[in-house]
Amino acid sequence: MRNTSDPIKENSNVMNTQGGEKKVMKKILSVALSTAMAFSMFASVAFGDTAVSPQQQFDALKAKGIFTGYPDGTAGLDKDMTRAEFAKVITKLLGLKEITGTLSYTDKNYTAKNWAVPYIEAVTAAGIMEGKNVEKKIFDFNGKVTVSEMATILTRALDLEIPAETNNNAADWAKGYVQAAINAGLIDSKANFGANASRELLVGAAYAIDQAQSLKVTKYEVSEGGKVVTFTISDGETVKVTLDKALEANKETEVKFTYKDKSFTEKVTYVVEAATKVQSASSVNLKEVDVAFDGKVDKATATDKNNYSVDKNSKGIKSITLLADGKTARLLLNESSKFTQGTTYKVVVKNVKSSTGTVLPQGEVSFTSADNTLPTVTEVKALGTKVIKVTFSEPVVAPSSSNFQLDDKAYIGSVTQGANQREVILRDYTGTITTGAHKLTTSLVEDYAGLKSLSATTDFTVAEDTEGPTVTEISATLEKVTVTFNEEIDPASVTSESFYWKSGDSKKVGKATQIAANVYEVDFTENRLPGYETNLFVEVKDYSGNANSVKEHKVTASVDLVQPRVVEVSYGTNVANELTVRFDKAVDAGDRKFFTIKKGDDVIPVREVSAVDGSNKIFNVKFYSPLATGTYSVKVSGVQDLTALKNTLVTYDGTFVASDNAAPSNDAVDASNISRKVALTFDREVDLGDLNNRANYYINFKKDNSSVIQRIALPTDATISVVNSGKSVVLQFPESIDGTNVAFGPTASVSQVTVSGLKSKTGQSIGIVDFAPEDVALALVTTNGVVQKDARTFEVNFNQVIANASTSDFRINGVVPTSVSIDNKKVTLKTSSDFNGSNTIQVVTGNSIQTYSGHKITSASGTTVDAVAPRVNLTSGAVIPQNNKKIEIPFTQTLGTANAADYANDLVIKQLGKTNTPTLSPKADYTTAVEGNKIVVTFLVDYTDEYSVQVKENATYITANGKTAAKSDVYTTTANTYSEVAVQSAKFVETVAAKKASATVANVVFTADNAGVNEDEIEVVVTGTAAISVAHVANKYTITVPTTASYNDLVAFVAQSDDVNFSAKLAAAVNGTDLITTGDTGSFANGDNAKGSVTVTFNIPVTVANLKIDGVVATSTPTADNKGFVVTGVDESKVAKNVTADITGTNGQTYALNQVISK
């Protein structure tokens, strides 16, 4: 059942009744009796389908005194009811006043002693029943009640309308009453109207009436934001009431409704635990504002400074505290900000979540900051025997020791303020404060309104604190831990190693920040906690110097599975001409690849993206130039948070508006002495009314070639025409002014046109703008006269603003463009086919190009540089070969290499051989490199079937000549094939030079001519007189010298001999002229071959086994690209020897290596 409520009357105890008591009761009786009659008498079973039997109904009514029963204790339900019984039941049910002292009837025994008289008189007075014989005044109280009579009584009781036409077989006197009862659904039209009604029927009807009269609300539920209240009635039914005005949260309000013709007025409180909106703001001091929500809010978002703006950010916020009620955020202004007494401000709140995680709608609430109250001390607390904490009623200006007296003596100690600027920490220089009772007097402590506290003394007790702080609560994610203690922690005791966990013996420390006097938040982003249970080590002290006794606390860090979201984008609000994007958690978004900005179908290139601060929640997106006024779309995707799982952003698609807040400025002036027209052009649209107002124009005029310049108003016979969509205005001058011919130029009669009093179309005032008109021929600009924007777009830039141009005025390599558009001095040409490389743009002879002053151009031409976006250089449907899990994608131009690895982000590659053709992840599933005009894609996944490959729309990284690549067709690759292993080279590279061997024999040092190992023997024999000679047999040289030979003779002989492969010199301290008297023998030593490395390379990546060089087992390391191996410490003697090994390619190809080593 649904009822619409009456208007709400808040906090009202007044009940609006719907008529007198009699009328109300009749309505109750109507509903009740209709129920009883319809379902009991004539629907076969009275309450037969309920759990309440007629006997139970009787017992319930008997307990209320409505029925009495017979002396034998029975209900007599099967008996016919009497008129007296009927009168009593109606009196009791309707609450009629029993009437005594009146006897309206003359029945025998109708006396004051008759139990029925008060009831009969009551129903008679109410007009519900009357006597059977009115003339004789006979009521017949023992008479039975027929169905017709019951219908008559009910019709009277319920004020039913008697119909004019009847269709029943009741007695004539009862036809109208019976028909009314039938029409009301009280009795069946086929009933025996002359039969008597039973007591059971009366019990059923009376029970229904009693239940209706006893209806009450058992509970209610508020829904739809306080707009709907559903009441549950005591009979089990519900009534849904839709209100005209939503209930105010957590405020008792009266709601009125009707049910079964009974009026209800119920007090309802819309209890809101979780906030639904910002409710109000208030400021009772000049440093704080309390923002109240209508329910509890999420602490993290409610204390995020970025979610609030006070006075359009003119008031900086230092910190935000969520008060104990969970519904009020207290904003503390930063050091350089405070409110002005009696001034009204507005605070904007956005992106705050309720306690259930729902983002609240943005709210704007106003408040007036007023501080007329002196600051007072709200608490003095001893923190052990060394420190006193004083809490004030509001933030105070930094107090000093002179503001305090301890036990009536000047306080001597340090005074520091807490972060909330309400708390002051007093640290006594004497070291300790005695235990016991003390008093602290404060005075003249100043608040930010300049009000100073009165002298006030607060008693407090100092007790010795010998117990260290204990941890009462720890909450932990992989990146952040919040630790709560049972008492205040001395910030001086918190170091970089106060909070850490261990990996082996290594301490993994976190960065601690004090959130409250007893709460610290520790950032473990650099040393993430493991995802399993571990020990968190805590080492801090309280203000008494007591360290926490329990150092280790078991924690299990919860894994952050929440995807980051974009909560706000705005352009120019934080930094001029930059887009600010705010996320709801710390992310890695400092790459332009994550951002796609468009205006219509045009992609706006992003220059760079940078984080605003260390929170990594806010990033500024910079563009190459300021954005033009208009609405832009922004898509942010692929961003990951800084958690261990690197949750990926929920893709954000939204819009932002770039507003044009700049005033128009002088953009161009075009003048013609032939047409006597001057066209003034601004860089944006100007208000049309201002442009057409000739009072806004002045000219510098020289009469009769005089040197005197006059500033005069625009001549009255000059005309004004606004053109170019309000960006330009054409002034048509007369042939002469005051007898002087009009001409334009620095020395001409009109040298300057001044405009003032103009404003832009969006309302920005221009100020005074001067134009210097001069008759200059129309031409292409000398630099960038023609520019190719892409394969089908060209720009032609003129030195004056163009009023008219058509496609037939231009040729691109002889081809007529398909469309032309004009933007001041720039004409943009579009073609239907691609033009690559350098192209020639011609302005044809006889063209229709014209400026607003009438200048024309005969002809012109220019050549573009190759500025076309690179495109995939493959025919549509081409198949790209895949070999060794690599493909090469050719482009029309040589590609840039600076961001080659990031080219992967511009490709869309799908696995065609898998269900749903999954898309590969750039850099994770494949990498990219650049080789000239080709992108080389290397696949990293375990898959060898076909791929589809496409350069995506709005590519960011693939570039050539400063242009990003165009979207390509979708190409397919072949299934992968692998190359056979082939050796390319085996080369020795010297790293350590060879050494020459030497031998000292007979006081002469012999040195081998060639470096390397040398074990030859030298023998010097002294005999006879024959000349010096040498004999070489096997590895021995025998030198025979005569007894007359000197050492110099031997050295000279060796130097001249062709039969030796060594040189000679005197040993130290030997006289060369001395004769050799004694022979000697010796061997060469200390010679060594060169050492180096042998690098063996292959055509594909390989692994190596059973490596040998010249038959000797060797070890190796792979090359950087795995396409070979390197053996170090190889003797040069192995050159020309063989290197052997068992080689395996990356895909199982085998190869038996047997390669000669070369240098």
| pLDDT (mean) for 18-23 | 34
Q: Are residues 331 and 385 in the same domain?
A: no
Q: Label residue 1 by pLDDT band (50, 70, 90).
A: very low
* Residue 11 confidence (pLDDT): 30
Q: Could you give the CA distance from residue 958 to residue 225 in angstroms, rounded to a whole number? A: 52
Position with higher pLDDT, 761 vs 706? 706
Residue 870 lies in a domain: no
Q: Could you give the CA distance from residue 281 to residue 298 in angstroms, rounded to a whole number? A: 18
Q: How many domains does the chain have?
A: 10
Mean pLDDT of the chain: 87
Q: For the chain, percent helix, then strand, then coil, each to nearest 5?
A: 15, 40, 45
Q: Are residues 581 and 690 in the same domain?
A: no
Closest by CA position to 472, among listed 548, 363, 578: 548
Residue 233 lies in a domain: no
Q: Are residues 49 and 154 in the same domain?
A: yes
In a 10 Å sphere around its CB, with 0-12 CB exposed, 13-18 middle and 19+ buried, how is residue 649 labelled?
buried
Q: Residues 460-469: pLDDT tens digits?
A: 999 989 999 9
% residues pLDDT > 90 (the chain): 50
Q: Are residues 836 and 969 in the same domain?
A: no
Q: Residues 659-696: pLDDT tens digits?
A: 766 677 778 999 999 999 999 998 888 888 889 999 99
Q: Check the CA dihedral 627-632-638-639 and report its sign.
A: positive
Q: Are residues 487 and 503 in the same domain?
A: yes
Q: Are residues 1063 and 1136 in the same domain?
A: no
* Residue 872 confidence (pLDDT): 92
Is 122:148 a contact under the CB 8 Å cutoff? no
* Residue 44 confidence (pLDDT): 33
DSSP annotation of 960 reads: E
Find how far residue 288's CA is from the centre of its chain. Answer: 28
| pLDDT (mean) for 885-889 | 94
pLDDT exceeds cutoff 60 at 14: no
Q: Return the half-sphere exposure (C-beta side, CA atoms, 13 A cut-off) of residue 863.
A: 4
Q: Are residues 578 and 672 in the same domain?
A: no
Q: Residues 695-744: pLDDT tens digits?
A: 999 999 999 878 899 999 999 999 999 998 888 999 999 999 999 999 99
Q: Could you give the CA distance from residue 266 to residue 255 in angstroms, rounded to a whole number? A: 5
Q: Residues 476-514: pLDDT tens digits?
A: 888 889 999 999 999 989 999 999 999 988 999 999 988
Residue 1139 carries which side chain, given as an amino acid letter?
Answer: V
Q: Residues 429-469: pLDDT tens digits?
A: 877 889 999 999 999 999 999 999 999 999 999 998 999 99
Q: Are residues 171 and 31 in the same domain?
A: yes
Q: Could you give the CA distance from residue 979 to residue 1123 in angstroms, rounded to a whole number? A: 13
Q: Residue 610 forms beta bridges with which residues? A: 620
Is 1135:1159 a contact under the CB 8 Å cutoff? yes
Closest by CA position to 618, among listed 590, 640, 599, 658: 590
Residue 1039 lies in a domain: yes
Range of lowest pLDDT (238-247, 323-332, 956-965, 1079-1088): 956-965
Residue 940 sits in a domain whose CATH number is 2.60.40.1220
Position with higher pLDDT, 677 vs 884? 677
State both tokens at 858.
């005969």
Q: Residues 322-372: pLDDT tens digits?
A: 998 999 999 999 888 899 998 889 998 988 889 888 888 888 899 999 999
* Residue 205 confidence (pLDDT): 66
- Judged by DSSP in three states, 776 sits in coil
Residue with tokens 């007898």: 739
Q: Are residues 39 and 137 in the same domain?
A: yes
Find how far residue 101's CA is from the centre of its chain. Answer: 85
∠ CA(922), CA(923), CA(925), 5° rounding?
75
Integer CA distances (angstroms), 970 to 373, 908, 1092, in order: 74, 9, 51
pLDDT exceeds cutoff 60 at 2: no
Residue 518 lies in a domain: yes
H helix or E strand, kind and range, residue 290: strand 288-293
* Residue 963 confidence (pLDDT): 79
Phi, psi of 891, deg, nearest 5: -120, 165
H helix or E strand, kind and range, residue 1083: strand 1080-1083
Domain end: 349, 369, 389, which one?
369
Domain end: 957, 977, 997, which one?
977
- Judged by DSSP in three states, 181 sits in helix
Phi, psi of 999, deg, nearest 5: -150, 140
Q: Could you give the CA distance from residue 861 to residue 839 in angstroms, rounded to a whole number? A: 10
| pLDDT (mean) for 44-58 | 61
pLDDT exceeds cutoff 60 at 45: no
Count of residues making up the chain: 1159
State both tokens at 389.
């904490």
Q: Residue 282 forms beta bridges with which residues? A: 290
Q: Are residues 1046 and 1108 in the same domain?
A: no
Is 298:307 a contact under the CB 8 Å cutoff? no
Ramachandran sector of residue 1137 (left: φ over 0; alpha: ψ -120 to 50; beta: rest): beta
| pLDDT (mean) for 923-952 | 93
Residue 959 lies in a domain: yes
Range of the domain at 923: 879-977
- Judged by DSSP in three states, 338 sits in coil
Q: Are residues 1061 and 1106 in the same domain?
A: no
- Judged by DSSP in three states, 73 sits in coil
| pLDDT (mean) for 270-283 | 89
> What are the start-end ranges of the E strands in 746-901?
750-759, 765-771, 786-790, 793-797, 802-804, 810-812, 819-823, 826-830, 840-843, 850-851, 860-863, 879-880, 886-890
H helix or E strand, kind and range, residue 700: strand 697-701
Position with higher pLDDT, 312 vs 193? 193
Residue 251 lies in a domain: no
Q: Residues 105-151: pLDDT tens digits?
A: 999 999 999 999 999 999 899 888 888 888 899 999 999 988 888 78
Residue 264 lies in a domain: no
Phi, psi of 1054, deg, nearest 5: -65, -40
pLDDT exceeds cutoff 80 at 206: no
Strand order in the sheet with 519-523: 471-476, 480-485, 519-523, 511-516
* Residue 64 confidence (pLDDT): 82
Residue 255 lies in a domain: no
Q: Residue 946 forms beta bridges with which residues? A: none
Q: Are residues 342 and 384 in the same domain?
A: no
Q: Label residue 392 by pLDDT band (50, 70, 90).
A: very high
* Residue 759 confidence (pLDDT): 83
CB atoms within 10 A of CB 834: 12
Closest by CA position to 1039, among listed 1021, 1055, 1052, 1013: 1021
Q: Residue 423 forms beta bridges with which residues? A: 391
Position with higher pLDDT, 231 vs 628? 231
- Pairing verdict, β 2-4 and 238-242: parallel
Q: Residues 1094-1103: pLDDT tens digits?
A: 999 998 889 9
Closest by CA position to 162, among listed 147, 181, 148, 146: 181
Alpha helices in 115-198 (DSSP H): 117-125, 147-157, 175-183
Q: Residues 960-1006: pLDDT tens digits?
A: 877 788 889 899 999 988 888 899 999 999 999 999 999 999 999 99
Q: Residues 1099-1136: pLDDT tens digits?
A: 888 999 999 999 999 999 999 999 999 999 999 999 99
Contacts of 91 (CB under 8 A, 6+ apart): 98, 118, 119, 122, 123
Domain end: 397, 430, 462, which one?
462
